[in-house]
Amino acid sequence: MTQRAMIIDDSRAMRSILRRIIGGLDFETAEAGHGQEALDQMEAGFEPDLCLIDWNMPVMDGYTFITEVRKRPEWRNVTLMMVTTESEQGQIVKALAAGAHEYVIKPFTPDAIVEKLELLGLSGKGIPA
């Protein structure tokens, strides 16, 4: 079964870059411009296996999105990966403690995303990487 990814970033250009990388791995993708929009889509029935999450966004930031997702037992299997310019060590620790599985700091190369997903056992096609 094809795996699903939610790309959450207020930059349309960044969403487009990530969509190309993730789409190339055969993920079915959805996009949101902030955390609340992503939560709304998930409430409406889009069940992602993976969320790629920017930190700084309007309405609801990525950190708050992670804490909201982690409050919901039905979403406990969703893999959460921050993709952000936030590069302070304390911020990384904070995101991991809140429930993020992985953390990629912008700028990144496409390989970086692919390698992180391999590390997390996600390949896009429902087959462990």
Partner 1 sequence: MPILIPVSMAPASFELIASLVLRETSIIYEPRKEYLVEARLHPLSVQAGCASLDEYVQLVMRNPVERQKSIDALTINETSWFRDNAPYQAFTDTMLPALLAARADRRRLSIWSAACSSGQEAYSIAMLLDQHLPAGWTADILATDVSTAMLTRVQDGRYSQVEMNRGMPATSLVKYFNRTGAEWEVVPTLRSMVRTRHLNLAEPFPMIGTFDLVLLRNVLIYFDQATRHGILRRMHPHVAPDGYLLLGSSETTLDLPADLNAMWGREQIGRVQAHRRATHAASTLAVPRLNPHTASGSLTGARP
127 binds partner 1 (CB under 8 A): no
Q: Which of 40, 87, 125, 126 binds partner 1 (CB under 8 A)?
A: 87
CA angle 83, 58, 117 (to 5 degrees): 15
Taking every pair of Cα atoms in the chain, the longest distance, rounded to a whole number of angstroms, is 37
Mask: binding to partner 1, 42-81, rule CB under 8 A, as x and -? Answer: -------------------------------------x--
100 binds partner 1 (CB under 8 A): yes
> Whose structure tokens read 């992503």?
38
* CB-side neighbour CA atoms (13 Å) of 119: 12
> At closest approach, how far in Å is the CB of 52 from partner 1?
13
Beta strands (DSSP E) in the chain are 4-8, 28-32, 50-53, 79-84, 102-105
Binding residues for partner 1 (CB under 8 A): 79, 87-89, 92-93, 95-96, 99-105, 107-109, 111-112, 115-116, 118-121, 128
